[in-house]
Amino acid sequence: MGLALAEARNALATADVPIGAVVIGPDGSVLGAGRNEREALGDPTAHAEMVAIREAAARLRARRALEGRDDDGWRLEDCTLVVTLEPCAMCAGAIVLARIPRVVFGAWDEKAGAAGSVFDILRERRLNHWVEVYAGVREQECAALLRDFFAGHRA
């Protein structure tokens, strides 16, 4: 979560909402890292999770190519996504489609969360993949970063 929080703080430089994410591979290495970049890129899909998932899939595909493997590199099986805020519906959908088996998040998103607060896409039994969810990791620190950001925007 420390790495995800560092990514979240980096988002402040571009006036993006401070949310950070990392994808950890089965060997414990960081496969992808991301922060919100919607403002920086003018891209509504540039959420921290999406950026980290894209980077992780590209890195995994490159690793497999170097090993001479000709299989799909986009499946992030045996990986863990760590993010500072509960994923939204778009990100939860991407997590399911990427086959990520575990998500760890910090603060709950009572307005748009899709990992148990508003929706529970990650554990929706009608989908083809289910995700273990570990919520509330360093929750106060993650929530404080967001509270401070929005308080500054309201002032």
As annotated, the active-site residues are: 49
Crossing angle of helices 89-97 and 48-66, rounded to 10°: 20
Check if the beta carbon of residue 85 is closer than 8 Å to that of residue 105: yes
Q: Give me the sign of the Cα torsion angle 129, 134, 137, 139.
A: positive
Check if the beta carbon of residue 1 is closer than 8 Å to that of residue 138: yes
Collapsing DSSP to helix, strand or coil, 47 comes out as coil
> Per the annotation, does 47 bind a ligand?
yes
State the Cα–Cα distance between residues 53 and 35, nearest whole angstrom.
11
| Element holding 147 (H helix, E strand) | helix 139-154
Give binding residues as ranges: 47, 88, 91
Give binding residues for Zn(2+) as ranges: 47, 88, 91
